[in-house]
Amino acid sequence: MQLPENVLTCIRLLEENGHRAHVVGGCVRDFCLGKEPHDFDMTTDATPDEMREVFRGYRTVDTGIKHGTLTVLAGGEPLEITTWRVDGEYADHRHPQNVVFTKSLTEDLKRRDFTVNAMCYSPSEGLIDEFGGREDLAAGIIRAVGEPERRFEEDALRILRALRFASVLGFSVEKATADALREKKQLLGSVSAERIFSEWKKLLCGNSASRILSEFADVIEVFLPEADAARFPSLPENGDFLLRSLYLFAGVERAPERYLAACDRLRTDNETKRRGIGVLSHLTDSLSLSKTEILHILFEIEKDDTELLLDLRAALGKGKGEKEILQTVLAERIPYRIADLAVGGKDLTQRGIRGKEIGETLKDLLFAVMDGEVPNEKEKLLAGIARK
């Protein structure tokens, strides 16, 4: 396992000071799967105070220190190193009330969510896999560490994490784990909206999202009752989050309102909300849109959103060839914004047009150009006004 230089430095420093240190969790899992890990987390028997001592020559950040995490800046990406710990009693199915540091690596690995996430590695000790993580990786299985019901009760976010990993990795959820997460699905109600949304995004974009959503539709319904579960089995190939989200709302009654309600409840970012509502509000039953209709949509929503709308229509089996029309319209630089017109407000004031009428006239002219009635040429446009 090839570790980055800063990770090796931190492991070496800890070991030189008599401690044990490993990379752990997602990075080990990804390595075993032959994937490039996107970050490295570390675990050590050194207490936070001992870590501070070991890393006194480095810049460190203390924000997670209460939970035993010190962030070390040793070149490369900031590295989070966490003292081996056992989670204390859980309050509200989400937060351990306190954490207790431990001198047992096994205890630290045991608190982790799934067997595939409970392995650690160091160059001096090799791979440590006490719960059959490698075997489950090879078989493509997400399995809770320990007794699944208790683990989901402790922290209900794990319910969604199980589905997320299965969707992203193309795995199945082991039977007892699947039964337990179904049994405990209502506990998702106690998980914060932000955490749900962040897992949901990854889950929905996974390669196996269609399969997992179909299999666990009853669980999804707990936090996203507005979505149309009948569409779960046929998500678009394209794994874009917004496209897939909107696909789940495309057929429901009062789609924009329901989408907005879901966004508000899940506290999504504004862009997810704004773009989604824009697209859903312009989604019609029409089988195909003309060039003029596409121009009108371009006038009302952003270019990217128009593209998204056409992708959504394609996913719904409509609008064959509409993407090509859009490309042509853009390549030909046909105006669809007031600013694209060959005349501006000043030209109109010079001709005695005032106030509100300026904007209205410009819009009329733009629509005349979009509809192919007048070419976008100054003389012709102004002649058009004179004739009014």
Nearer to ligand ATP, 25 or 319 (CB): 25
Nearer to Mg ion, 145 or 213 (CB): 145
Distance CA(376)–CA(374), nearest Å, equals 6
- Of the candidates 49, 63, 61, 39, the one whose C-alpha atom is nearest the C-alpha of residue 17 is 49
Least spacing, CB of residue 39 vs Mg ion, in Å: 5
Residues 362-384 as b/e (b if ≥16 CB within 10 A, e otherwise) read: beebbbbbbeeebebeeeebbeb
Q: Residue 113, interface with ligand ATP (CB under 6 A)?
A: yes
Nearer to ligand ATP, 35 or 363 (CB): 35
Distance CA(304)–CA(288), nearest Å, equals 19
* 277 within 8 A of 259, measured Cβ to Cβ: yes
Binding partner selected for residue 157 from ligand ATP, Mg ion, none, CB under the kind-specific 5 to 8 Å limit: ligand ATP
Least spacing, CB of residue 212 vs ligand ATP, in Å: 16
Applying CB under 6 A, which of residues 6, 44, 117, 306 lies at the interface with ligand ATP? 117
Least spacing, CB of residue 112 vs ligand ATP, in Å: 3
First-to-last C-alpha distance (Å) of the chain:
76
Q: What is the token pair recorded at 349?
A: 């004031």
* 233 within 8 A of 216, measured Cβ to Cβ: no
- Build a one-symbol-per-residue string for 67-106: x at contacts with ligand ATP by CB under 6 A, - elsewhere: ----------------------------------------
Q: Give the up-direction half-sphere exposure of residue 27: CA atoms within 13 A in the CB hemisphere.
A: 20
Nearer to Mg ion, 26 or 64 (CB): 26
* 21 within 8 A of 122, measured Cβ to Cβ: yes
Least spacing, CB of residue 284 vs ligand ATP, in Å: 38
Q: Residue 157, interface with ligand ATP (CB under 6 A)?
A: yes
- Build a one-symbol-per-residue string for 13-52: x at contacts with ligand ATP by CB under 6 A, - elsewhere: ------------xx--------------x-----------
Does the CA dihedral 324-325-330-332 come out positive or negative?
positive
Least spacing, CB of residue 98 vs Mg ion, in Å: 23
Nearer to ligand ATP, 181 or 260 (CB): 181
Report the phi/psi class of residue 88: left, alpha or beta, with left for phi > 0 and alpha for psi in -120 to 50. Answer: beta
Nearer to Mg ion, 165 or 232 (CB): 165
Beta bridge partners of 71: 61, 80
Nearer to ligand ATP, 113 or 174 (CB): 113
Three-state SS for 277? helix
* 266 within 8 A of 196, measured Cβ to Cβ: yes
- Which window, 155-163, 205-213, 229-237, 372-380, contacts ligand ATP (CB under 6 A)? 155-163
Residue nearest to ligand ATP (CB): 26
Nearer to ligand ATP, 25 or 278 (CB): 25
Q: Residue 313, interface with ligand ATP (CB under 6 A)?
A: no
Least spacing, CB of residue 207 vs ligand ATP, in Å: 14
Q: What's the length of the chain?
A: 388
Binding residues for ligand ATP, rule CB under 6 A, total 11
Nearer to ligand ATP, 100 or 383 (CB): 100
Provide the strand spans (E) within 7-107: 21-24, 41-44, 59-61, 69-73, 79-83, 85-87, 90-91, 95-96, 99-101
* 156 within 8 A of 182, measured Cβ to Cβ: no
Binding partner selected for residue 235 from Mg ion, ligand ATP, none, CB under the kind-specific 5 to 8 Å limit: none
Applying CB under 6 A, which of residues 45, 108, 136, 155 lies at the interface with ligand ATP? 155
Three-state SS for 122? strand
Applying CB under 5 A, which of residues 26, 96, 256, 384 lies at the interface with Mg ion? 26
Q: What is the token pair recorded at 225?
A: 């009752």
Residues at the site binding ligand ATP, with contacts judged by CB under 6 A: 25-26, 41, 112-113, 117-118, 155, 157-158, 161
Residues at the site binding Mg ion, with contacts judged by CB under 5 A: 26
